[in-house]
Amino acid sequence: MRLPKRLPFAAAALTVFAAAAAWALPPLDTGLGLRWVDITQEAVKDPFQVGRTKDGEGIYGCRIVHLRDVEAGKRIGPFGRYCYVGSGGMERPYSAFQALAGRFDGHWVAATPGVIPENAFRVDGGHGPVVYMCRGAYEGGVHGGMSRGQNCMIGWEGDELQTDEFEVLVPRAKPR
């Protein structure tokens, strides 16, 4: 297995407090059994697990809006207070975010750079650049992150890691 490329640490990771007006996306039902829940409005009763730490603790999906783009990340534990996003060479914790919740009728499918399954789950909700929820293995765990069609970008201890060995969420085909 190839290890992810570790990008240089650009600056100290700071908690970003997004104003309510900055949210470009409202809580949203995806139509696939999943929904986005604004964690400033309600508790997440059924968070969607995207991976696990090396100690077995659950890692859950989340997304934020940063500079008008949607970015996906991970929460550590079902009640994690931050969405950790690996982007721009570093990992940033966001305290205002939307958590992925619900039961997804689908599965994780291996993807490769430039080859994403046509019906893969989009985090962006059809707004702005295409962003997929992805996950990649690193240091004994499986970490949720985002892909724009090439690598899977995950946050790790303040840095952004990119891996070309990753999976994306794909809904099961409906019987005809």
Which domain does 89 fall in, by range?
A: 5-171
SS3 of 126, please? coil
β-bridge pairing 159-163 and 5-6:
antiparallel
In the chain, how many domains are there? 1
Residue 17: Cβ within 10 Å count = 9
φ and ψ at residue 166, rounded to 5 degrees? -150, 175
Q: Are 125 and 104 in contact (CB under 8 A)?
A: no
Give the pair of three-digit tokens for residue 56.
């077995």
In a domain, 31, yes or no: yes
In a domain, 166, yes or no: yes
C-alpha torsion angle, residues 49, 52, 53, 54 (rounded to 10): 170
Residue with tokens 């962006």: 124
Q: What is the DSSP letter of 22?
A: G
In a domain, 9, yes or no: yes
In a domain, 13, yes or no: yes
In a domain, 176, yes or no: no
pLDDT tens by residue, the chain, 176 residues: 444 554 443 333 333 333 333 444 544 766 677 888 888 756 788 899 999 999 999 999 999 887 778 899 999 988 888 999 988 888 999 999 999 999 888 899 999 988 999 889 888 877 778 899 999 999 999 999 999 988 999 988 888 899 999 999 998 875 44
Q: How much is the pTM?
A: 0.80
Q: Are 121 and 50 in contact (CB under 8 A)?
A: no
In a domain, 154, yes or no: yes
